[in-house]
């Protein structure tokens, strides 16, 4: 089976006199998969993102995207396949209006104008921002700007979208907006998704979670498996969601929670069926 992305024993450091940021990292991402990468600051998770589309090149090991090795010659080809959304909503908005910004990536790849006009429409519709074509960036909220950033990436029709802490600078409302947009996009479009975050709440809907610690892959599994390792997560500086903490307290108080709950609904389910199981 072919993987869409494959990291083979990748190590990376920014400068020779500095410590390794990534040490011997190997993992794969399948087509159509949603992988969440979590880790605290400095765990190397953003570096992984930048390695995937050739913004950085590894010192050791190899990276394959869609079967192509990432190197100086292939980066332009790879950037067509891998789209990226960054943390700061303002600093990735290139165009003077929403329309111009969505077109920026397509202009770079030399798409014909007719196709661009069509794709601007469709990708803005996909993130629910069709009414904002002529808006300037300073008239949009942070969440709206991030949705435009997602639309700009979608317009190039990549096979993988990486969201590198795309919600970190937003207020709770904007964060919800973006998570909802991402979920919709992943459902309706045929693409793989990698979300990078330090917030465990954002990994619940992912297919698989990769936990990074000090430049190494520390744990890999489904969200449920990862949440079950809550004590270990706390030890490496990741804060577990309230529901997980509550479940842990309940277990300590003598209740048997069989399935690690991911949200309030599931915990509720566990609790009201508790008696019948005993």
- Chain residues binding other proteins by CB under 8 A are 53, 55, 76, 79-80, 83-84, 86, 88, 90-96, 99-100, 103-113, 116-117, 120, 136-139, 152-153, 156
CA 178/CA 172 separation, integer angstroms = 10
Least separation in angstroms between residue 237's CB and other proteins is 25
Nearer of residues 88 and 222 to other proteins, judged by Cβ: 88
CA 211/CA 43 separation, integer angstroms = 9
Least separation in angstroms between residue 13's CB and other proteins is 18
CA 70 to mean position of chain CA atoms? 20
Nearer of residues 13 and 80 to other proteins, judged by Cβ: 80
Least separation in angstroms between residue 208's CB and other proteins is 24
CA 74 to mean position of chain CA atoms? 23
What kind and span of H or E run contains 51? helix 45-52
Nearer of residues 58 and 223 to other proteins, judged by Cβ: 58
Tell me the CA distances in angstroms from 125 to 64, 82, 108, 141, 210, one per residue in order: 32, 21, 22, 18, 31
CA 258/CA 39 separation, integer angstroms = 27
* Inter-helix orientation angle 113-126/172-188, to 10°: 120
Least separation in angstroms between residue 109's CB and other proteins is 5
Nearer of residues 112 and 254 to other proteins, judged by Cβ: 112
CA 156/CA 61 separation, integer angstroms = 29
Structure tokens at 260: 């690690």
Least separation in angstroms between residue 63's CB and other proteins is 15
Nearer of residues 141 and 263 to other proteins, judged by Cβ: 141
């Amino acid at each position: 089976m072919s993987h869409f992305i494959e990291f083979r024993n990748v190590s990376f450091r920014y400068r020779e006199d500095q410590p390794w940021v990534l040490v011997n990292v190997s993992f794969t991402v399948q087509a159509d998969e949603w992988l969440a990468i979590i880790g605290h600051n400095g765990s190397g998770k953003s570096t992984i993102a930048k390695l995937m589309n050739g913004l950085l090149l590894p010192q050791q090991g190899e990276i394959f995207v869609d079967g192509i090795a990432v190197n100086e010659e292939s980066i332009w080809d790879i950037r067509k396949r891998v789209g990226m959304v960054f943390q700061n909503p303002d600093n990735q908005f290139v165009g003077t209006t929403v329309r111009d910004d969505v077109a920026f990536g397509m202009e770079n790849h030399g798409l014909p104008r007719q196709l661009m006009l069509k794709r601007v429409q469709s990708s803005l519709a996909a993130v629910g921002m069709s009414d904002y074509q002529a808006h300037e960036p300073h008239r949009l909220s942070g969440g709206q700007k991030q949705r435009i950033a997602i639309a700009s990436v979608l317009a190039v029709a990549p096979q993988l979208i990486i969201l590198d802490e795309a919600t970190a600078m937003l207020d709770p409302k904007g964060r919800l907006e973006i998570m909802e947009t991402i979920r919709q996009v992943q459902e309706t479009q045929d693409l793989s998704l990698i979300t990078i975050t330090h917030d465990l709440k954002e990994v619940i809907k992912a297919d698989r979670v990769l936990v990074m610690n000090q430049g190494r892959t520390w744990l890999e599994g489904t969200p449920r498996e990862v949440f079950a390792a809550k004590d270990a997560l706390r030890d490496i500086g990741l804060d577990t969601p309230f529901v997980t903490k509550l479940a842990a307290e309940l277990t300590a108080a003598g209740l048997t929670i069989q399935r690690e709950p991911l949200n309030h609904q599931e915990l509720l389910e566990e609790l009201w069926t508790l008696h019948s199981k005993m």
